[in-house]
Every structure is written in structure tokens, then in C-alpha cells.
Amino acid sequence: MLDGKKPESSALEPWKDPAAEPYISIRNVTKRFGDFTAVNDVSLNVYRQELFCLLGGSGCGKSTLLRMLAGFEEPTSGQIFIDGQDMAGIPPYRRPVNMMFQSYALFPHMSVQDNVAFGLKQDNTPRSEIRDRVAAMLELVKLSPFARRKPHQLSGGQRQRVALARSLVKEPKLLLLDEPLGALDRKLRESTQFELMNLQDKLGVTFIVVTHDQEEAMTLASRIGVMNLGQIVQVGTPSEIYEYPTSRFVADFIGSVNMFAGRIVDEDSNYVRIAADEAGCTIFIDHGVAAPPSADLWVALRPEKINISREPPADTRENCVQGVIDGIAYMGDMSVFNVKLNTGRMVKVTRPNLIRRSEDTLTWDDHVWLHWHPASGVVLTT
Ligand code: ATP
């Protein structure tokens, strides 16, 4: 989510309000295909006007969950409520839902405006109303100059916007999008992501977007549900998911992470010390953890939260290790360093390239110190 665009006030975070009515309530939904469980006991509430992203790797069950919301699949067990109504046995066309498919499924022989008008014609909407609504929608997705073109005369991004206009023109309360930006190149994806967010803001539709692209989910979502093996393993805002993952799976799936196995050697209610053999140091964390002293645990450290320097930091007792630069990737905005610790373990560290030509350029084989703040490590028990 873009900081500043949608301020995080409680009014915009209905999931924090126990009295708020969910718009979609998925209750213990399971979907089996023969012996195979594609969706496994999923429960989830989504609130009106959210842009909720279901994020997960290929085959984790996200499309199947979306198809059950749309009514193209029935749950094997469990219930789905939309706007307080049980959706059991309700066919897709009687749900307050529209779905935009991965392939866009535009009619190749129809012009852009006829593609957008199609659903309204099917509903016998009066012609003048169709004309006005289609024109307004094409204006919204910035396609008015292309109204008479056929899909093959458009770019991928333009076709994607036609599909979006066609999905939105019927003013669904809920729009389901399956990998909506999958066919676009990176630049176009980024600009279309912002268009999608603006549209969502303007129209007040509730969006559920399925994606395997974590950056897309982080940019678009009010909240993200991370899926693995048919289950939702964590739900949270993009920053919660990134900064406070609750499992190694989520920490590893979202962004890059250095994971160190360890054991507690000292603790109190407001701190914990973890001996991490691979790191070759004790890791001091400035809060207590709810884990028995003998528990196996892991500390996750994001590459951007590790400082890298030639000089030792002031205090080298904790959260501080030495190593040698083993590889560098220059990414323009930042550089990625692979540092081989004295223990032999590789650690990834990123550093923003703040200055064009820095005096302090680090290079291959440099001996460096890595250190991090006591709040930087995330302790995980699963
Ligand atoms: P992708 O990102 O690759 O589209 P996904 O997370 O959307 O993956 P689903 O399409 O929901 O995954 O599929 C989840 C699992 O269920 C997959 O292993 C898939 O093979 C299986 N599956 C989906 N539909 C059927 C079906 N009709 N019959 C049998 N198995 C199915």
C-alpha cells in the first residue's frame, strides 16, 4: 500500500472494529477435487471497499477460492456469505459479483465499446443508458480514443483496461480479479496498478485480487491473505505481513530474508537473547517472546535492516558479525551484498545507493562488519 494515499485511520481499517459487518464472510470452506484438497478449511472476512489480495504460489488454491466466491465452484463444505446472504446454490449470474479472468476473454470480433457494452445489452438496458455508461467507463479507464478499435489493435495494457471496463460497467458490488496484470510488462504493470487503485477509490467497489506477485500485492492491497497448500496462513496489511510475519513460510515468501536457527540463552519479559550458531553471535531482541526456553526458533532478518561497514560499530558484543564480501549486485537504486560470515554462512544485505559516486564504495573481498538494531530481528517459532 502507498503510504500517504490511504491514511491508516480506524475508519479505514474495519477489520479492527469487532462491530463491523464483513461484506464477505468465508466460513470453514473446503474444496476437494476427488482425493485432492485444493482449499482446506479457510475462514476469512473481507470488508466493504477493501482491495484484498490473495497471494500465494502456483497451485496453492487461490483461484479455486475466487471461483467459489464467483459461484463457478461449490464448496465441498463450509459457507460463503456475501452481504449477509448465504451463497449456497446461488448461480454466478445471481450473485452481486463480477469476475475478470486471467485471459481477459474479450470478444475478438467486437470493438472496444461493444465489448464493454455487452453485459448491459444482455440485461436489456435502454440504448441511451448503455451509450452513456460505456462512454463514462471508457473515459475512466482512459480508452475513449480507442472505442472503435478491435482487441487485436490494442496493446496488452489497453486490452487489460477494456476487460476492467467491461467488468466494472455493470457496477458490481464485488469484483474478483484473477491475476489481472499478469500479461503486462513491468512498467505497464506499475502504472496499471495505480490506475486500479484509483478506480477502486472512485467507484467504491470491493475488490478481491488473486496474484502470485508479492510486489503487486504489497502495492495494491488494503490487506493480504497469504495462501499455502490450500490454507490462508496469515492475513494482514502489507506492512504487517512484511514486518511481522508469523511463520518462516510467510517471512520467506514475502521479500528476502536471512533466517537463523537458534535457542534462547537469556530472557526476560522485555528482551530475549538467542544463540545463533550459524550467525556466530548472540542475537539480542528488545522484546520478550512467547516460547518455552527449550523451543526451536528462528530469527528472521531482512537484508535492508542490516548495516554494513568497514569499521566496527561502537558495540560489537551483540547483533554484530564479521564477514567478507563474496558478491555484489548493483541494482541502481540499491546494491545487494552477499557476505560470507566467519562461520561460512552467507548473508544478504542491501544498501540504498544514496550518493552517485560514494567514497565509501564497498567491493569484493572487503572485510566488513554487519550489525543490526535489537528491534530488527523477527523471532519465529513455526
Ligand atoms: P495458479 O497461480 O497456478 O493459477 P492457484 O493457486 O490459483 O494456482 P488453483 O487453480 O486454485 O491454484 O488450484 C489449486 C489446486 O487444485 C491445484 O493443484 C490444481 O491442480 C487443483 N485443481 C484446480 N481445479 C481442479 C479441478 N477442476 N480438478 C482437479 N484439480 C483441480
* Mean pLDDT computed over 151-177: 87
Report how far apart, in Å, the C-alpha atoms of 197 and of each of 9, 16, 176, 204, 338 are: 18, 22, 14, 10, 36
pLDDT at 348 over 90: yes
Q: Which residue, judged by its Cα, is nearest atom 29 of ligand 1? A: 33
Q: What is the model's pLDDT at position 8?
A: 47
* Mean pLDDT computed over 274-284: 88
Ligand 1 centroid vs 379 CA: distance in angstroms? 33
Ligand 1 centroid vs 26 CA: distance in angstroms? 19
- CATH class of the domain at 13-249: alpha beta
* Residues paired with residue 323 on neighbouring β-strands, in sequence order: 341, 368
The pLDDT tens digits of the residues spanning 85-128 come to 999 999 998 898 988 876 667 899 999 999 999 989 988 999 99
The pLDDT tens digits of the residues spanning 214-270 come to 888 888 888 999 999 999 999 999 999 999 999 999 999 988 899 999 988 888 888
Ligand 1 mutation pick, 60, 73, 229, 232, max ligand atoms within 8 A of CB: 60
Could you please report the per-residue DSSP string of 49-113?
T-EEEEEE-TTSSHHHHHHHHHTSS--SEEEEEETTEE-TT--GGGSSEEEE-TT----TTS-HH
Contact 194 CB / ligand 1 (< 6 Å) = no
* Mean pLDDT computed over 9-16: 71
Ligand 1 centroid vs 106 CA: distance in angstroms? 23
Q: What is the model's pLDDT at position 347?
A: 95
Contact 57 CB / ligand 1 (< 6 Å) = no
pLDDT at 357 over 70: no
Banded pLDDT at 52 (limits 50, 70, 90): very high
Q: What is the model's pLDDT at position 168?
A: 85
Contact 312 CB / ligand 1 (< 6 Å) = no
> Is the Cα dihedral 212, 215, 219, 223 positive or negative?
positive
Ligand 1 centroid vs 230 CA: distance in angstroms? 10
Q: What is the model's pLDDT at position 358?
A: 61
Residue with cell 469476475: 99
Banded pLDDT at 189 (limits 50, 70, 90): confident
Give the count of beta carbons closer than 10 Å to the beta carbon of residue 136. Answer: 12
* Mean pLDDT computed over 37-41: 97
CATH architecture of 256-380: Beta Barrel (2.40)
Ligand 1 mutation pick, 62, 72, 213, max ligand atoms within 8 A of CB: 62
**Ligand 1 atom, smallest distance to 67 CA:** 11
Contact 59 CB / ligand 1 (< 6 Å) = yes
Q: What is the model's pLDDT at position 13?
A: 84
pLDDT at 359 over 60: no
Burial of 218 (0-12, 13-18, 19+ CB in 10 A): buried
Averaged confidence pLDDT in the chain:
88
Q: What is the model's pLDDT at position 3?
A: 42
pLDDT at 75 over 50: yes
Q: What is the largest CA-CA distance in the chain?
A: 76
Q: What is the model's pLDDT at position 360?
A: 62
Banded pLDDT at 354 (limits 50, 70, 90): confident
pLDDT at 278 over 70: yes
Contact 212 CB / ligand 1 (< 6 Å) = yes
Dist. CA 52–CA 32, nearest whole Å:
24
Q: What is the model's pLDDT at position 104?
A: 67
pLDDT: which is higher, 36 or 19: 36
Round the CA-based radius of gyration of the chain to a whole number and report it. 25
Contact 61 CB / ligand 1 (< 6 Å) = yes
Contact 56 CB / ligand 1 (< 6 Å) = yes
Dist. CA 263–CA 187, nearest whole Å:
44
pLDDT at 303 over 90: yes
The pLDDT tens digits of the residues spanning 123-163 come to 899 999 999 999 988 988 888 999 999 999 998 778 888 98
Ligand 1 centroid vs 42 CA: distance in angstroms? 15
Which residue spans of the chain are classified as CATH 3.40.50.300? 13-249
Which residue spans of the chain are classified as CATH 2.40.50.140? 256-380
Q: What is the model's pLDDT at position 201?
A: 77
Ligand 1 centroid vs 87 CA: distance in angstroms? 21
Ligand 1 centroid vs 157 CA: distance in angstroms? 26
Q: What is the model's pLDDT at position 2?
A: 38
